[in-house]
Amino acid sequence: MKGYRFYLEYPNSTEKKKATVKNLGNHKGNVVAVSFQDYRILHFEKDIQYDSFCAGTDHRNGYVVSGTCTEGYLRAVCKRIPENLARIIHPRLFAVLDYNP
């Protein structure tokens, strides 16, 4: 899917560091989709924010909301993954992203 990068959320930085793309480890079961198509970068308290879609709850395959995500959050507890893994882990996210009225 063009225009998005996908990040798998982890409960903390320790779990993120243990994980690899082949062994995803103990993740939250949700994916953050950061938009880089018509993107806008906001500077907020010395951190950069990106437009994104992500889970509104901490439950696996959570309901999707739109908002912003900071670069610090992505670096701290998220790992970039390919789209095919993101589709398997968080199908509700792609129900929103694939919707084209």
The DSSP result for the chain, as a single string, is -TTEEEEEE-SSHHHHHH--SSS--S--S-EEEEE-SS--EEEETTEEEEEEEEESSSSTTPPEEEEEEEHHHHHHHEEEE-HHHHHHH-HHHHHHHT---
Percent of the chain with pLDDT over 70: 90
Mean pLDDT of 29-58: 82
Domain containing 69 equals 4-97
The DSSP result for 45-63, as a single string, is TTEEEEEEEEESSSSTTPP
What is the rounded distance in angstroms from the CA atom of residue 43 to the CA atom of residue 94?
28
Mean pLDDT of 15-34: 93
Per the listing, tokens 């670069």 go with 71
CA dihedral over 51, 35, 92, 97, signed as positive or negative = positive
CB burial readout 60-74, b (16+ within 10 A) else e = eebebeeebbbeebb
The total of structural domains in the chain comes to 1
Instruction: Determine the pLDDT at residue 41.
Output: 65
Mean pLDDT of 23-42: 84
